[in-house]
Amino acid sequence: MTTVLEKGNISIHTENIFPIIKKWLYSDHEIFLRELVSNAVDAIQKLKMVSYSGELSGDVGEPEVVITIDKAQKTLAITDTGIGMTADEVKQYINQVAFSSAESFVEKYKAAGDQQIIGHFGLGFYSSFMVAQRVFIDTLSYKPEAEPVHWSCDGSTEFELSASTKSDRGTTVTLLLQDEEQEYLEPYRIRQLIKTYCDFLPVPIKLEVIEAASETAAPEATTESAADATTEAPAEIKVPEIKAPEQINRQKAPWKESPSALTSEGYLEFYRYLYPFQEEPLLWVHLNTDYPFVVNGILYFPKLKPDVDTTKGQIKLFCNQVFVSDNCEEVIPKFLLPLRGVIDSADIPLNVSRSFLQNDRTVRRIADYIAKKVGDRLKELYRDNRDEYVRCWQDLGTFVKFGSINDDKFKKQVEDILIYRTTAKLSEVSGERSEVSEPKIEVQSADGDAWQDVNAPTADSTSDPSPLTPSSSPPYTTLKEYLERNKEHHPNRVFYCTDEVAQTTYVELHKQQGLEVLFMDSFIDSHFVSFLEREHPDVKFARVDADLDETLIDKDKPADIVDPTTNQTRSDRIKELFQKALNKPKLTIRTEALKASDAQSVPPAMVLLPEHVRRMQEMTALMQQQAVQFPEEHILLVNTSHPLIQNLVSLSQGAIIQSGGQSPSAALADLICHHVYDLALMAQKGFDAEGMQAFVERSNAVLTQLTDRAAS
């Protein structure tokens, strides 16, 4: 058994810890204004609670916080019309560091209303010493017979307490600013800080500026003084000019209002205020719950750009309508970081400076709640207005796919509403909607949540609905519908395209043979295809330029013998021609007869990139953070059914041999082989400067020889 030698209390010397609190408690000096204004608003909220309880008789008056700038005196004052303090309360709440009255006050008056108290740590007041060389407090309590109190401190552990001349209920905190902190005497700076931190506090915040004293005209001289020329002229009187206080905060927080009280224009106006000079949002969701935690907010789905940084959040975090941070990755699920808007919760645990989140179970539960609400609303939109869902999919799809990859719960929510643009003409598919049942969408909705879209008509709007109709929108399908629709043609196989322009030749070839192709051309789809393969291990995903399905190749076409002595077929000769002309050891030449009702409608040659080779190349580029390079090892598929290729065989057999050992016809055939390869390659990648120059030179040579032949 361990013997306890001594027990006691750890002593803390305030003269040592006080400078630490002043200098290092907050990362930015400007935070002092947020803290002092928050304290002022708390004082007003406390007065309301006291009034509701019946302890205060008479009118509480108009609540307001006034910030007064006096450049001449180098002072900044924050005045509230709140509860005030007695001398004993000043000693208890101001002289005791880190003593907050919030919890005990709320507990005492919890039956008197739901007024929110911001401060809980008892340290915010001391942030004033980060910018002030001396701080003064003048306060008068609401209590009957209370005497006004004056308190002052120079930032040391010593203070002075005396009687004050204050006659109005409330508190004034006056800061004599340090010489290096004079920026807080500029009105534009105060407006900027209030807009940043306190714009939505529920009390009017006003700015009053006392201009430097101006000289007035000297009083007119009397007869007596005029007669005496030696009499000194009266001194000119200097009178400070005080401008009328101007409200500088918006005061109303839209996310605290009932969703039914906000119009579509109200939501949009709020978005424009938060994010000026941005495109209108696609949709928004209004969060409003008070169990098992309190969360309010409005989240907007913006139009995304290809260069969007999915790791950087743009959602503003508030606590009781006080701005805390625009970096709330812990609260927002990773895949929803590109969302914009506001989240306000007093249940989000913050450190004492309210600058950083304390990551705990509550934060994770709030993040799960937000993800679930977003998923529920997306399912509701898909179920109730599929055309609008399709219209927004180009931007929504990034969130949904990214969320499916990163969040298993979210994936289960949205797996039935993942849609893909398709080449199928769904309107011409008989019984499409009857044969393929719509996925069952179960939506758990909560009162107080509102999901709106920009163009949807509302009760307050008489505008026409979106002109987008099913006939004008591109066809979209789910993976389940695709597999069901094509189970007879190519069971458990999905053909997809990642670049509609570059791969248009391959897409058209598939379409001609009745093969449906899905477009997966967003920047996230290269990762999403791999995710789908893991989720559907029995389904094979093949990009249209990876390999050709057997249904695209005419296997019944007989092989033509072009050299009876060696039994060399036309295909063999074509392969030999391209191998000799191109002379690329890592290039695989493959000859096939492609199916086509019109031979001219399919290309003479196509470059194929084997799926495994291409994906390995993409993975290597991703790991090395480099651009994907075109692989040297690829396949050139030459279409033996194309008239150009058939004519090429005849051309290469020119009889006249020049001194160089090659006939002009054979030389032209070599140039055409290069040209055919160039055209096939251009569908996959662009040329660099050297490659483009060589292509142009070869093209000119081909055209020159062809025109020579035509002219002769």
**Residue 344 confidence class, pLDDT cut points 50, 70, 90:** very high
Among 43-57, 254-268, 513-527, 632-646, which stretch is predicted with the lowest mean pLDDT? 43-57
**Residue 241 confidence class, pLDDT cut points 50, 70, 90:** confident
- Asked whether residue 9 is assigned to any structural domain, the reply reads no
User: Rounded distance, CA 437 to CA 468, Å?
Assistant: 24
pLDDT at residue 484 in the model: 93
Does 28 share its domain with 174? yes
- The position carrying tokens 């308190």 is 151
What are the backbone angles phi and psi of residue 306, rounded to the nearest 5°?
-60, -25
- Whether 369 and 379 have beta carbons less than 8 Å apart is answered as no
Q: What CATH number is given to the structural domain containing 408? A: 3.40.50.11260
What are the backbone angles phi and psi of residue 258, rounded to the nearest 5°?
-70, 135
The domain boundary residue, chosen from 391, 411, 430: 391
pLDDT at residue 209 in the model: 94
- Provide mean pLDDT across the span 129-144: 93
pLDDT at residue 18 in the model: 61
Does 661 share its domain with 527? no
pLDDT at residue 274 in the model: 94
pLDDT at residue 306 in the model: 65
- Strand arrangement of the beta sheet that strand 476-478 belongs to: 476-478, 419-422, 517-519, 493-497, 540-543
In 609-659, at which residue ranges do the beta strands (DSSP E only) sit? 634-639
pLDDT tens for each residue of 414-454: 999 999 999 998 765 544 433 444 444 444 444 445 544 44
Residue type, 7: K
Contacts of 44 (CB under 8 A, 6+ apart): 63, 65, 80, 81, 82, 83, 203
Does 439 share its domain with 569? no
DSSP state of 68: E
Tokens of residue 267, six digits: 């939501």
Q: 517 is in which domain, residue-wise?
A: 400-445+466-543
Which letter, b or e, does each residue of 20-46 get, where b requires 16 or more Cβ atoms within 10 Å of its Cβ? ebbeebbeebbbbbbbbbbbbbbbbbb
Cα distances (angstroms) measured from residue 428 to each of 240, 386, 387, 433, 677: 82, 19, 18, 11, 37
Residue type, 414: V
Confidence (pTM): 0.74
Q: What CATH number is given to the structural domain containing 665? A: 1.20.120.790
Q: Which residues pair with 419 in a beta bridge?
A: 478
- Asked whether residue 1 is assigned to any structural domain, the reply reads no
- Whether 140 and 154 have beta carbons less than 8 Å apart is answered as no
Question: What is the DSSP annotation of 660-694?
Answer: TSS-HHHHHHHHHHHHHHHHHHHTT----HHHHHH
CA angle 250, 255, 257 (to 5 degrees): 90
The packing angle between helices 664-682 and 570-582, to 10°, is 80
Does 635 share its domain with 517? no
Does 312 share its domain with 408? no
3-class DSSP state of 397? helix
Q: Which residues pair with 325 in a beta bridge?
A: 317
Q: What CATH number is given to the structural domain containing 28? A: 3.30.565.10
Most confident stretch, 15-24, 214-223, 493-502: 493-502
pLDDT tens for each residue of 272-326: 999 999 999 988 999 998 888 889 999 999 987 766 676 777 899 998 999 988 8
- Provide mean pLDDT across the span 552-564: 72
DSSP H or E run through 570: helix 570-582
- Asked whether residue 618 is assigned to any structural domain, the reply reads yes
Tokens of residue 223, six digits: 């007869």
User: Rounded distance, CA 16 to CA 156, Å?
Assistant: 10
The domain boundary residue, chosen from 543, 564, 588: 543
Does 269 share its domain with 164? no
- Provide mean pLDDT across the span 246-273: 94
- Strand arrangement of the beta sheet that strand 634-639 belongs to: 587-592, 634-639, 605-608
pLDDT at residue 235 in the model: 55
pLDDT at residue 554 in the model: 83
Residue type, 323: F
Contacts of 60 (CB under 8 A, 6+ apart): 47, 48, 51, 81
3-class DSSP state of 380? helix
pLDDT at residue 422 in the model: 95
Does 504 share its domain with 437? yes
Does 692 share its domain with 622? yes
pLDDT tens for each residue of 622-667: 676 667 777 788 899 999 889 898 888 888 775 454 555 567 888 8
- Asked whether residue 224 is assigned to any structural domain, the reply reads no
Cα Rg, the chain, nearest whole Å = 39
Does 65 share its domain with 186? yes
User: Rounded distance, CA 142 to CA 38, Å?
Assistant: 19
Task: Characterize the bridge pairing of strands 634-639 and 605-608.
Answer: antiparallel
**Residue 490 confidence class, pLDDT cut points 50, 70, 90:** confident
DSSP H or E run through 195: helix 187-197
- Strand arrangement of the beta sheet that strand 340-344 belongs to: 322-325, 314-319, 340-344, 295-301, 283-289, 450-453
- Asked whether the predicted pLDDT for residue 150 surpasses 90, the reply is yes
- Asked whether residue 261 is assigned to any structural domain, the reply reads yes
Task: Characterize the bridge pairing of strands 159-163 and 149-153.
Answer: antiparallel
3-class DSSP state of 576? helix
Q: What CATH number is given to the structural domain containing 279? A: 3.30.230.80
- Asked whether residue 459 is assigned to any structural domain, the reply reads no
pLDDT tens for each residue of 573-630: 889 899 999 999 889 999 988 888 787 888 899 999 887 777 777 777 667 666 777 7
- Whether 521 and 498 have beta carbons less than 8 Å apart is answered as yes
The domain boundary residue, chosen from 543, 568, 592: 543
pLDDT tens for each residue of 664-701: 888 888 889 999 999 998 887 778 888 889 889 888 98
User: Rounded distance, CA 182 to CA 232, Å?
Assistant: 38
- The position carrying tokens 């975090």 is 317
Number of domain units in the chain: 4
Q: Tell me the average pLDDT of the chain.
A: 80
pLDDT tens for each residue of 167-197: 999 999 999 999 999 999 999 999 999 999 9
- Asked whether residue 235 is assigned to any structural domain, the reply reads no
- Asked whether the predicted pLDDT for residue 399 surpasses 80, the reply is yes
Question: What is the DSSP annotation of 221-288?
Answer: PPHHHHH-TTSPPPPPPEEEEEPPPEE-S----GGGS-GGG--HHHHHHHHHHHSTT-PPPSEEEEEE
pLDDT tens for each residue of 455-486: 444 444 434 333 333 445 679 999 999 999 99
Does 703 share its domain with 592? yes
- Whether 273 and 323 have beta carbons less than 8 Å apart is answered as no
Does 523 share its domain with 567? no
Residues shown for the chain: 712
- Provide mean pLDDT across the span 489-497: 91
User: Rounded distance, CA 637 to CA 588, Å?
Assistant: 8
- Provide mean pLDDT across the span 542-551: 86
- The position carrying tokens 């003064």 is 136
User: Which of the pair, 517 or 598, is modelled with greater confidence?
Assistant: 517
Nearest to 128 by CA among 34, 15, 14: 34
Nearest to 40 by CA among 153, 174, 160, 162: 174
- Asked whether residue 229 is assigned to any structural domain, the reply reads no
- The position carrying tokens 């309301």 is 48
Four-CA torsion 443, 446, 449, 451, nearest 10 degrees: 10
Nearest to 89 by CA among 157, 34, 41, 143: 143
Does 151 share its domain with 202? yes
Contacts of 624 (CB under 8 A, 6+ apart): none
Among 29-38, 162-171, 392-401, 550-559, which stretch is predicted with the lowest mean pLDDT? 550-559
User: Rounded distance, CA 647 to CA 263, Å?
Assistant: 69
pLDDT at residue 405 in the model: 92
User: Rounded distance, CA 403 to CA 408, Å?
Assistant: 8
Question: What is the DSSP annotation of 74-117?
Answer: TEEEEEE-S----HHHHHHHTSSTT---HHHHHHHTGGG--PPP
pLDDT > 70 fraction of the chain, expressed in percent and rounded: 75
- Asked whether the predicted pLDDT for residue 69 surpasses 90, the reply is yes
**Residue 571 confidence class, pLDDT cut points 50, 70, 90:** confident
**Residue 236 confidence class, pLDDT cut points 50, 70, 90:** low
Question: What is the DSSP annotation of 312-349?
Answer: S-EEEEEETTEEEES--TTTS-GGGTT-EEEEE-TTS-
DSSP H or E run through 510: helix 504-512
- Asked whether the predicted pLDDT for residue 531 surpasses 70, the reply is yes
- Asked whether the predicted pLDDT for residue 89 surpasses 80, the reply is yes
What are the backbone angles phi and psi of residue 639, rounded to the nearest 5°?
-85, 105
DSSP H or E run through 623: helix 611-623
- What distance lies between CA 534 and its chain's CA centroid? 27
